[in-house]
Amino acid sequence: MENLQDGKQRDLSLNRSDGTNKYLTTDQGVKINDDNNSLKAGERGPSLLEDFILREKITHFDHERIPERIVHARGSGAHGFFEVTNPIPELTKAGFLKEAGLKTPVFARFSTVAGSRGSTDLARDVRGFAVKFYTQEGIYDLVANNIPVFFIQDASKFPDLVHAVKPEPHNEIPQAASAHDTFWDFISLMPESMHMIMWIMSDRAIPRSYRMMEGFGVHTFRLINEAGESTFVKFHWKPKLGTHAVAWDEAQKISGKNPDFHRQDLWEAIEMGNFPEWELGVQIIPEEDENKYEFDLLDPTKIVPEELVPVTIVGRMVLNKNPDNFFAETEQIAFHPGHIVPGIDFTNDPLLQGRLFSYTDTQLSRLGSPNFHEIPINRSIAPVHNNQRDGHMRQEINIGRVSYHPNSLGGGCPYQAKIAEGGFASFNERIDAHKIRERSESFNDHFGQARLFFNSQTPTEKSHIVKALRFELGKVETTAIRVRMLGLLSQVDMKLAEQVAAGLGATVPPVLETPINHGVSPENEMGKHEPQTVESSVESSDALSMLKNPTNSPTIASRKVAIICSDGVSEACVMNMKEALLKQDAKGFIVAPTLGNILTDQDGAIAANFSFLTASSVLFDAVYVPDGIGLNALIENDDVNEYLHDAYKHCKVIGADGRATAVIGAASFAAKISADDQGLILTNEAATKAFTDEFIAAMGQHRFWEREPNLYN
């Protein structure tokens, strides 16, 4: 009998596409002359809506995933408020920035970029830092990241960047990781990415908490005042708790022990009343200073060093309420950098210009309707009146027969608002230029600020960057890609390149391979200009180093301490430590061999919060071993040794008092302990106030990275 199933099978080979030795084309088969630059009105002008190549490319990219976000899929958020502390009415007519003490409701969402919704919180990645302001004049979205620059200069390359960093399409591996060939292949051919690479390979990419990372608006925006005058502005979020990170080995272990680590941290801090807080700062650049610096204000791969333009604090944000429903609020919230209010406007940054199209298009695909603004979490608190109608899942019930403008049947309503009545008007920027696919020569410095960032780091931070690059490039299987990256690193810092090369068993190439002829004709690749290095007017910036910026008043609020106990533990030691931590808004957790009650030296009982099986050292900020009479059980326990070993290796505070110091002495790292290690708090006396005070003070320093050189000797 004829096999009808086989006979009806399609020849799937007809749908296979191989681009080897083929020209790049649009989806309609039109050959593309320039795939690296969007069509602009002049080299530094705005992107043009008629750029069908850019629109087709980004539209396809925006609709590639259903229903989760293509990027920033893994996130967590909270409600709160923004309060003006230093109003700036002379710079902007935005109402939420004009009056001291004015509070505006907000919802903030933090996220990783590359991974799916089910990926780990602790991936080495950029973190999104998006805030929706529910202002009286409408929705304002400050869609920021925890890194102030980006990989690319033009939105045309964004789909390529994300395709490169996502899991490789033939096997969907690896998830939420940049340590693979396709990402570094792309980066090795994009010198403009080198500044961002320095940031992403630093500890900024593995924050201790969402509450302990900065946020940056990335792009240069404009502020517009009542007189219609413009100033350029960069936005900064400064965390009250300071900026802190975890060790890379620790991040990998947390990913296995608790992939929801950041999400849980944010939730629990708010539930405990330790409300996360940031200050909002602005860097203001007068219109006449647009071309003052050696970098271009419109280049999203550049910062404005704080030594050149200080950050002025204008307000604070406090997150004080967790969502009632994760999907309805955190998942359905829809951000867009094009959601602005009068007093804030755009610049011609070509990456920003592309984002202004992309975000709405993405929400149409992800949320399935042009009415996503009617979802409660996205609703404006300002009245909404317009002639938009119908569409999937429409909730607004519009009355009357008129849905157009102008009209007479509806009395001309809703009216257009004059500028004096709060009507939005774009900044009246003069543009007189030719249509061109090109970048300004002022965008060609790809190494100067990368060098500035590296030079600004402490020796510990530089060491972490070297190790990160060794790890990432060590995962790359293609030798030519590693060699190209070493060449690019040599343009940033030769010693850095040599240290990375040593870890790869390679040598730095004597000549930088110019990234041309990789897929398109030489006259079009990267535009007509070769990468350059422009020396920065600032040699080193303390603001770029996490370790050079400790908090003014070190705090351990919301920190967690593992108190390792077994039967016979000193009840006084445990109670004294827990009470001292609570006074500092921190918390001690009893970790024991098993769950249940732990018998104390006073014939009492203390309930264990965790067993060694259910919690790991990497989930705590410090470890304390109290005095007791049953300490042999801890000395002989391999889990205890692992707890202490990881805490020591990750440069955390470790404390022990009374007879418990013997537990530290028996640990695997005991021979490496340095006499001047201020992160090891040991005393032969038990339950003293001096000990707990010293332990808490040490926790306020976060980590003792100077311990690291001893770890590998």
Catalytic residues: 72, 145
| Locus of tokens 């340095």 | 674
DSSP 291-303: T-SSS-TT-TT--
| Residue 358: half-sphere exposure toward Cβ, Cα within 13 Å | 24
Measure the CA angle with vertex 368, ends 217 and 348; round to 5°. 30
In sequence order, what are the residues at sequence separation of 6 or more whose Cβ sits closer than 8 angstroms to the Cβ of residue 20? none
Structure tokens at 622: 């410090």
Strand blocks (E) in 533-627: 560-564, 587-592, 596-599, 605-608, 610-611, 622-625
- Other Cβ atoms closer than 10 A to 418: 9
Rounded CA gap, 622 and 607, in Å? 20
Cα separation of 287 and 246, whole Å? 40
Contacts of 4 (CB under 8 A, 6+ apart): none
- Sequence-ordered list of residues with C-beta below 8 angstroms from that of 318, at least 6 positions apart, any chain: 80, 81, 83, 275, 276, 277
Instruction: Tell me which DSSP letter residue 222 carries.
Output: E
Token duo for residue 108? 């903030």
The b/e string for 528-567 (b: 16+ C-beta within 10 A; e otherwise) is: eeebebbebebebbebbbbbeeeeeeebbbbbbbbbbbbb
CB 303 within 8 A of CB 449: yes
Q: Are 401 and 409 in contact (CB under 8 A)?
A: yes
Q: Is 27 helix (H, G, I), strand (E, B) or coil?
A: coil
- The distance between the two most distant Cα atoms of the chain, rounded to a whole number of Å, is 90
Rounded to the nearest 5 degrees, what angle is found at the Cα of 221, between the Cα atoms of 300 and 78? 90
Nearest 5°: phi and psi at 59?
Answer: -60, -45
Q: Which residues contact 332 (CB under 8 A, 6 or more apart)?
A: 367, 372, 375, 377, 378
Contacts of 544 (CB under 8 A, 6+ apart): 303, 452, 453, 456, 457
DSSP secondary structure string for all residues of 44-108: TSPBPTT-HHHHHHHHHHHTSSSSS-SSS-SEEEEEEEEEESS--TTT---GGGSSTT-EEEEEE
